[in-house]
Chain A
Amino acid sequence: GAGVSQSPSNKVTEKGKDVELRCDPISGHTALYWYRQSLGQGLEFLIYFQGNSAPDKSGLPSDRFSAERTGGSVSTLTIQRTQQEDSAVYLCASNPLGGLRADTQYFGPGTRLTVL
Chain B
Amino acid sequence: AQKITQTQPGMFVQEKEAVTLDCTYDTSDQSYGLFWYKQPSSGEMIFLIYQGSYDEQNATEGRYSLNFQKARKSANLVISASQLGDSAMYFCAMREGDTGGFKTIFGAGTRLFVKA
Return the chain A residue nearest B105 by Cβ: A45
A102 in contact with B52 given A42-B91, A42-B108, A107-B45 (CB within 8 Å): yes
- Partner of B50 from the list A31, A43, A104 (CB cut-off 8 Å) is A104
The answer to the question of B64 belonging to the interface, with a C-beta cut-off of 8 Å to chain A, is no
Report whether B102 and A50 are in contact in the complex, using a CB–CB cutoff of 8 Å.
yes
Query: Per-position contact with B for A94-116: 1 when CB-CB < 8 Å, else 0?
Result: 00001111101101011000000
Give the distance in Å from the alpha carbon of A107 to the alpha carbon of B45 in the complex: 6
A105 in contact with B47 given A100-B31, A100-B33, A100-B97 (CB within 8 Å): yes
In angstroms, how far is the closest chain A Cβ from the Cβ of B93? Answer: 8
Report whether A43 and B102 are in contact in the complex, using a CB–CB cutoff of 8 Å.
no
Give the distance in Å from the alpha carbon of A42 to the alpha carbon of B105 in the complex: 10
Give every chain B residue within 8 A of A23 (Cβ-Cβ). Answer: none
The answer to the question of A67 belonging to the interface, with a C-beta cut-off of 8 Å to chain B, is no
Report whether A35 and B102 are in contact in the complex, using a CB–CB cutoff of 8 Å.
no
Give the distance in Å from the alpha carbon of A99 to the alpha carbon of B103 in the complex: 8
Return the chain B residue nearest A53 by Cβ: B101
Report whether A107 and B44 are in contact in the complex, using a CB–CB cutoff of 8 Å.
yes
In angstroms, how far is the closest chain B Cβ from the Cβ of A58? Answer: 8
Give the distance in Å from the alpha carbon of A98 to the alpha carbon of B101 in the complex: 10
Interface centre among B50, B52, B93, B102, by most chain A C-beta atoms within 10 angstroms, is B102
- Partner of A41 from the list B44, B105, B108 (CB cut-off 8 Å) is B108
Return the chain B residue nearest A102 by Cβ: B50
Give the distance in Å from the alpha carbon of A99 to the alpha carbon of B31 in the complex: 10
In angstroms, how far is the closest chain B Cβ from the Cβ of A5? Answer: 13
Give every chain A residue within 8 A of B91 (Cβ-Cβ). Answer: 42-43
Give every chain A residue within 8 A of B32 (Cβ-Cβ). Answer: 100
Give the distance in Å from the alpha carbon of A33 to the alpha carbon of B91 in the complex: 16
Report whether B47 and A104 are in contact in the complex, using a CB–CB cutoff of 8 Å.
yes
